[in-house]
Amino acid sequence: MVEKVKRFLKKNILGIIIGGLIFGTAGVYAATYFPSGDVTYDNSESGLKSTDVQGAIDELYNVCVPSETGPSAGEQLLDKVNIVTSGDGLYKDEYEDRYFYKGSNPNNYINFSNSLWRIISVENDGTIKIMRNDSIGDMAWDTSVGVYWGTASLNVYLNNSFFATLSDVNKIVSKNFSIGEVTLNNSSLKSQIEEENAILFNTKVGIITVSEFLRSNSNISQCSTFLLNSDNRKICVNTSWITNTLSFDNFWTITPVKNSYNSPYVYSIGSNGYIDYISNSNFKNYVFPVIYLSSDVKITGGDGSKNNPFVIE
């Protein structure tokens, strides 16, 4: 802010002298008669209600224009692709203000940190939630056999050792991950989402929720809930990009099981599409890290296909 004022004063010295003589508040009066066309100020963080000199200039005399940030990453993506209601593609979610990629193999590939990732969802704040296309190996959810993600050994590993291997970490934002316990065989996806969202944990790296796995399936009539997916998993396994294109045996979700015995159960997804619950969180399953890309990210190329993934900078 000090440098901004210095640059402004230097470029408007005559107006400063006049303003100082008449009003005693040179900065405001200077802007009225001697605007500097090549200086752009941004007081958007204060909601255009800044109380400093620069804010007074902007608000009272409308001389300086807030800098343009351009469309968010999410808005760029929504401009590039069509929203669909069937088949492979990006869908408007009916439960939350989000968009999900669904189907057997939608064009949701994206390059990040020299690796191929898949877009899970476009968020309402312009961020993009992505999951690594390849597993980083099999490991325990929590070596202490707990079911709280905040202290789980996998959470610690992902946000320290794994995070340290990533490049372009400035493109990652810390966000709330839904870590609430979910009732076994919940027959309502709406209720399941509410249970997941009952507990939030803010971090940079996580893994996918059970409801996000279900919402990757384009066969909504047969595969959109625990019970439907269980009854029709031989069909459902082919209409979700997660079970249809990723390579794994079983992989962890971030979601613990809600049950009356208070046992350390955590949900996992089988390669056959079955949502399983593991009674020992120290058991090893595959891990697909999940992050949120900043809304400031620019999508500069690609069409989202595997051979031409989205490119960001």
Residues 158 and 256 reside in one and the same domain: yes
pLDDT band at 116 (very low <50, low <70, confident <90, very high): very high
Q: Look at residue 261 in the predicted model and tell me its pLDDT.
A: 59
What Rg, from alpha-carbon coordinates, does the chain have?
25
- Mean pLDDT in residue range 280-308: 97
Task: Please give the backbone phi and psi of residue 295, each rounded to the nearest 5 degrees, phi first.
Answer: -65, -15
Average pLDDT along the chain: 84
Q: How far apart are CA 178 and CA 156, in angstroms?
A: 17
Q: Look at residue 53 in the predicted model and tell me its pLDDT.
A: 55
Q: Does the pLDDT of residue 190 top 50, yes or no? A: yes
Q: Does the pLDDT of residue 65 top 70, yes or no? A: no
- Is residue 139 one of the residues assigned to a domain? yes
Secondary structure percentages of the chain, helix, strand, coil, to 5: 30, 25, 45
Residues 166 and 256 reside in one and the same domain: yes
Residues 200 and 81 reside in one and the same domain: yes
Please compute, for residue 147, the number of CA atoms within 13 A of its CA located in the half-sphere on the CB side: 21
Residues 10 and 126 reside in one and the same domain: no
- Is residue 280 one of the residues assigned to a domain? yes
Q: Look at residue 90 in the predicted model and tell me its pLDDT.
A: 98
Q: Does the pLDDT of residue 165 top 60, yes or no? A: yes
Residues 13 and 139 reside in one and the same domain: no
- Mean pLDDT in residue range 183-202: 95
- Mean pLDDT in residue range 58-80: 73
Closest CA to 31 of 50, 49, 7, 47: 7
pLDDT band at 259 (very low <50, low <70, confident <90, very high): confident
- Is residue 43 one of the residues assigned to a domain? yes
- Mean pLDDT in residue range 166-187: 95
Query: 14: which 2 tokens?
Result: 């005559």
- Is residue 283 one of the residues assigned to a domain? yes
Query: 112: which 2 tokens?
Result: 């990040």
pLDDT band at 157 (very low <50, low <70, confident <90, very high): very high
Residues 193 and 93 reside in one and the same domain: yes
pLDDT band at 264 (very low <50, low <70, confident <90, very high): confident
Strands (E), 84-188: 89-92, 98-102, 109-112, 115-123, 128-132, 138-140, 172-173, 175-178, 182-183
- Mean pLDDT in residue range 75-92: 97
CB-count exposure of residue 30 (10 Å: 0-12, 13-18, 19+) = buried
Q: Which of 9-23, 46-60, 206-220 has the highest mean pLDDT?
A: 206-220
Residues 49 and 139 reside in one and the same domain: no
Task: Please give the backbone phi and psi of residue 103, each rounded to the nearest 5 degrees, phi first.
Answer: 115, 175
Lowest mean pLDDT among 26-40, 174-188, 260-274: 26-40
- Is residue 311 one of the residues assigned to a domain? no
- Mean pLDDT in residue range 78-86: 97
121 bridge partner residues: 100, 129
The number of domains in the chain is 2
For residues 40 and 282, the model is more confident at: 282
Q: What is the DSSP letter of 23?
A: T
Residue-range definition of the domain harbouring residue 51: 2-61
Q: How far apart are CA 182 and CA 215, in angstroms?
A: 15
Q: Convert the pLDDT of each residue in 271-293 to its tens digit.
A: 999 999 998 999 999 999 999 99
Residues 179 and 35 reside in one and the same domain: no
Matching residue, tokens 């088949």: 87
Residue 214 carries which side chain, given as an amino acid letter? L
- Is residue 305 one of the residues assigned to a domain? no
Using a pLDDT cut of 90, give the percent of the chain over it. 73
- Is residue 187 one of the residues assigned to a domain? yes
- Is residue 310 one of the residues assigned to a domain? no
- Mean pLDDT in residue range 239-251: 97
From the CB of residue 163, how many other CB atoms can be counted at a distance below 10 Å? Answer: 16
Residues 36 and 13 reside in one and the same domain: yes
Q: Look at residue 203 in the predicted model and tell me its pLDDT.
A: 98
Q: Does the pLDDT of residue 15 top 70, yes or no? A: no
pLDDT band at 223 (very low <50, low <70, confident <90, very high): very high
- Mean pLDDT in residue range 115-143: 98
Q: Look at residue 52 in the predicted model and tell me its pLDDT.
A: 54
Residues 55 and 78 reside in one and the same domain: no
